[in-house]
Amino acid sequence: MATSDATPGVDPIAAAISAVIDPLITNEKALAACYAQRTRLLAELDRLGHDPRIIAGLCGDPVESGRNDPDTGAHGPAWDDEELARRCMAAEAAGALRVKASTAGIMVFNAVRLTDQLPQFHAALARGSITWGHALKMLDLTDGVPEEILPAFETKVLPAAEKLTSTQFVRVAGRILERMHPVPLQTRADAGFVTRRLVLHPDADGMAWLNAYLKAEDAQAIYDRLSRIATTLDTDTSAEASAPGADPTSTGPSSTDPIGSGPTGTAEPRTKDQRRADAYRDLLLDGVGPAGLGHGIRGTVHLTVPALTLLGRSDEPAILEGYGPIDPETARRIAGTATSWSRILTHPETGCRLSMGREQYTPPADMRRYLDARDRTCQGIGCTRRATLSEIDHTRPWNTGGPTDVDNLVHLCTPCHRLKHQSSFTTNQGPGGALTWTTPAGRKYTSAPANTDPITYDPATCDPATHDPAILGTATNDPATNTPTTYDSPPPGPPPF
């Protein structure tokens, strides 16, 4: 006679699922409590930045800080104590959490808001009755809201946050806030319009997101127009396929026709999402759609391509400045249409390096090109600002005997550059441009250049006629005049570092 292990009166299916769901709920509450704890610690870090004793220990050398030195003062007015402390605390958090300093600064700012202005939501997060997603939605929703209405608003919407998903909650809370907000919507809309902007977010597999923050009606109208264009492209494709003399087996226009070409440049059919994205690209790059006349101003890209990839003898990826690796075929296509190239000839066996010693303070043009290719980004803690938008710093200061040498030069964006000079953060440069930061807390973080290959350049020894150099090309042109950018001489004026 068969027996069953099931407990009488208990649904075995429900029991099996509950055995996973119950710990999942417990885990979610634990995660929420951890986020609440992190928020409290970040807020405490901010409070340390307001302690006069801590602030006094964050100030750097009075000469190197720029307060008493005209050269370092060229970075801009020295930060006051409050700003210096804020940036130091953000950099400390950035190193600990492995994020950019700007991201850490936002995290600290939001932590103070959540603990000080939204204490009910912080307490709910600590006990696990809401998720971190609810807290983030509440922070976004109350950004810029007058503090005097926050306690009443928080009390009114917290029950909804404890019952609804974060997306459902923000819709309900948004309607409640609209009724409670003391500032007219028109005034807030006018203020919001000032913050319009465009943001580029690199993604994987050679792709990226281009996000525009616009007025709602403009964004909706743009999306609607792109949708209508996408529908038209679909109609044009169908019409061409059914035209007299057309190949009845064809799925669209030939691969040379940009309207009908698929996502890989072939004649394969495109989804509406793909057609909408293609129309967006064509309108922004050319100023008109592919069937229109004329071309708009083209953008500028900076590309570093290994020589063998350029010649089709290697599949090593090229590096698109501001993004990262891109596929060899795209790199060769861009190289074929570049308006100008700045070449760096290199050979790994020569061991040659660039150095001006103490003879010259400002790096010459070829040295700057080498440093651009080596660093690619600012070497601040977690910073990703492009090298071409950053400054070149003497790690060991020139006024204390530091040479103009690639082993003593590194790219730092203006905020990171000023942090290094005006605070008690210190830096030490290792081989290949690796920069080690020591924070006021005594922690060390090393920022290594994105390009870790041993790139060297010396026009006296690296002769393309006798060596097999790698060619690192930068496709550049001035978008305003469509003329090549030159690097023949350093920029005028006193050095800012």
Same-domain check for residues 122 and 162? yes
The last residue of a domain, from among 286, 316, 331: 286
Mean pLDDT of 4-12: 71
Mean pLDDT of 71-77: 58
Same-domain check for residues 133 and 65? yes
Same-domain check for residues 79 and 126? yes
The last residue of a domain, from among 193, 223, 255: 193
Q: Taking the CA of residue 176 as centre, how many other CA atoms within 13 Å lie in the half-sphere pointing to its CB?
A: 21
| pLDDT class of 355 with cuts at 50, 70, 90 | low
pLDDT single digits (tens) 75-127: 567 788 889 999 999 999 999 999 999 999 999 999 999 999 999 999 999 99
Residue 66 pLDDT > 80: no
Q: Cα 130 from chain centroid?
A: 29
Residue 481 pLDDT > 50: no
The last residue of a domain, from among 137, 164, 193: 193
Number of separate domains in the chain: 2
Give me the DSSP letters along 325-349: EE-HHHHHHHHHH-S-EE--EE-TT
Q: What is the pTM of this model?
A: 0.67
CB 318 within 8 A of CB 475: no
Does residue 481 belong to any structural domain of this protein? no
Residue 479 pLDDT > 50: no
Does residue 103 belong to any structural domain of this protein? yes
pLDDT at 112: 97
Does residue 296 belong to any structural domain of this protein? no
Same-domain check for residues 138 and 226? no
Residue 232 pLDDT > 50: yes
Same-domain check for residues 241 and 135? no
Same-domain check for residues 245 and 161? no
pLDDT at 35: 97
Residue located via tokens 């830096």: 427
Those residues with Cβ within 8 angstroms of residue 32's Cβ, 6 or more apart along the chain or in another chain: 125, 126, 127, 128, 130, 131, 132
Rg of the chain on CA atoms, in Å: 29
pLDDT at 280: 84
- 447 by DSSP, 3-state: which? strand
Residue located via tokens 């008493």: 68
pLDDT at 30: 96
Report the C-alpha gap between 237 and 154 in whole angstroms: 54
pLDDT at 405: 86
Same-domain check for residues 223 and 131? no
| pLDDT class of 315 with cuts at 50, 70, 90 | confident
Same-domain check for residues 181 and 266? no
CA distances from 66 to 58, 62, 401 (A): 15, 7, 18
pLDDT at 465: 36
pLDDT single digits (tens) 118-152: 999 999 999 999 999 999 999 999 998 999 999 99
CA distances from 132 to 33, 135, 137, 338, 473 (A): 9, 5, 9, 47, 45
pLDDT at 322: 64
Same-domain check for residues 155 and 213? no
Please give the mean pLDDT across all residues of the chain: 75
Q: Which residue has the higher pLDDT, 159 or 476?
A: 159
Instruction: Name 342's bridge partners.
Output: 474
Phi-psi region of 401 (alpha: psi -120 to 50; beta: other; left: phi over 0): left
The count of residues in the chain is 497
Q: Which of 133-147, 263-277, 352-366 has the lowest mean pLDDT?
A: 352-366
Q: Which residue has the higher pLDDT, 97 or 226?
A: 97
pLDDT at 329: 83
Dihedral sign for Cα 90, 92, 96, 99, please: positive
Note down the domain range covering 226: 208-286
pLDDT at 215: 80
